[in-house]
Structure 1
Amino acid sequence: MSLFKAHYNLEKHSVGFVVAIILAASVGGVVEILPLFTIDETVETVPDMRVYTPLELAGRNIYIREGCYACHSQMIRTLRDEVERYGPYSLAAESQYDHPMLWGSKRTGPDIARLGGKYSDDWHVAHLINPRDVVPSSIMPAYPWLADAPLPVSDLGAHLAAQSRLGVPYTAEMIANAPRDALAQTRPDSDGAEGLIARYGEATTLRPFSGADRLTEMDALVAYLQVLGQLTQAPYASGAAP
């Protein structure tokens, strides 16, 4: 009872009570804040991690714009049933270039952290135009206008520049060539394809994602979906699979 009596006496002295609250809050703040100064030592890095191409980044922006993150998470937890269903659990390094990160917790639809390469480009196009055509029980809304909407590329350099200010290692050359690289990724035989590979690496996918004869928002979104889980092979080599 002495503890309760001491607390009761403290409540009668407002200044002392405020000081006690500040001290208690300070302890909690120190415990939460101090570890942040060593966070660089605790986050793993992977040598083969690559950045999004301008086309993939544009697709990610469309994904955010259309609210897809509200129904699909992008973080596979270490639980056995999740690993068996979706694939290797997510590593922190996979999200190091994601601004904002799209881990999420809402799964109205399945987690898509390992979606890249699981289905063909044609499947994704059909699924986005009318999900019921490929998944009869789907409750996902349709996005048919993406196939007709031309992708604006003039501002892609500004998008890359903004990401570089947040720590994504885009070079001045990448920023300057962003509009050209976005088009080149859907034109494997174009003059710009070689420069795209030189800037973003041999792992970069070059193909007409939607099959259209012009660059559309569908191309960008499919390019983004096909690279999910493919920016690094570390999860597949680290034993994260069951």
Structure 2
Amino acid sequence: MIMKFRFAHESIEINAGLLIGLTLLVISIGGLVEIVPLFYIDETIEEVEGVRPYTPLEQAGRDIYVREGCYTCHSQMIRPFRDELLRYGHYSLAAESQYDHPFQWGSKRTGPDLARVGEKYSNEWHVQHLEAPRSVVPESIMPNYPWLSETALNTSDIEGKLRALKMVGVPYSDTDEEYQANVERFGEEAAKMLDIHSAEKNLIAQAQAGNYDGDRSNLTEMDAMVAYLQLLGTLVDFSKYDEGYFAEFR
């Protein structure tokens, strides 16, 4: 019996065409087992109260974040391990990244994870840190980004960006029906910010109100970058989850 098995195994190994065919068969079966069940469930991501798409200003900031390659040194995914919890807080939820295209999970941390950096520092701190990192974190090896405060933010293409994101499933509104659906889902204030037709106006209004770069007379890329960073990890009220979760580590 063993000899027959060895002979069959050897026959497969030395026959490249048969080996490739059987390999593809096994991969196909495994793929179907993983993918087919997804077609029989309504949602693959749990609904989490508070999570919403980015506002136009926050989305512009995220685009700059990606453009500058910040994701190569900073992850945005807290794993469910004790050391991660003690340093960064509650582990990341899938729902927090459902409107990210692409998501910023990452696996490399030359710098700290940023999934919970929002509102941890002041706007002024972020501006100083981006312009001259070592002035606030002496041991930092992060490059300087002084041009963010000097470069005017381009707002002319924001509607096009939101329409593109809408095509891949982000619920920005383009019709009255979609607007009303967003009111019911996210609340009226958020729905106003997610209206494509008012995107540029809303972007400017949020930047003026937030004064993220410390200069209301200019709308800069720093405004958008800081607005994005200050949002990260702030949409979910983790006090509803932390008590039971933290108890596991006490």
Verify the 8 A CA contact 1:83 1:241 in the aligned structure 2: no
Superposed, 1:38-117 pairs within 5 Å as 38=40, 40-117=42-119
- In the other structure, the counterpart of 2:25 is 23
CA–CA distance in structure 1, aligned partners of residues 46 and 236 of structure 2: 13
**Residues 90-239 of structure 1: pairs in structure 2 closer than 5 A:** 90-172=92-174, 174-188=195-209, 207-212=210-215, 213-233=217-237, 235-239=238-242
Residues 161 and 236 of structure 1, relative CA distance in 2, 3 Å threshold: farther
- CA distance in 2 between counterparts of 1:241 and 1:8 reads 52
Q: Which runs of 5+ in 2 are unaligned?
A: 176-194
Give the helix-richer structure, 1 or 2: 2
The separation in 2 between residues aligned to 1:146 and 1:12, in whole angstroms, is 59
- The one-letter amino acid of 1:184's match is A
Identity %: 54
Aligned-residue RMSD, C-alpha: 2.1
Q: Which of 173-182 and 214-223 deviates more?
A: 173-182
Give unmatched runs, 5+ long, in structure 1: 189-206
Classify 1:120/1:13 alpha carbon distance in 2 versus 1 (closer, same or farther; 3 Å).
Answer: closer
Superposition deviation, residue 5 in structure 1:
1.6
* Aligned equivalents of 1:12, 1:75: Cα separation in 2: 44
Tell me the TM-score normalized by structure 2.
0.82
Give the Cα–Cα distance (whole angstroms) in 1 for the partners of residues 12 and 125 of structure 2: 68
Q: How many correspondences in the alignment? A: 223
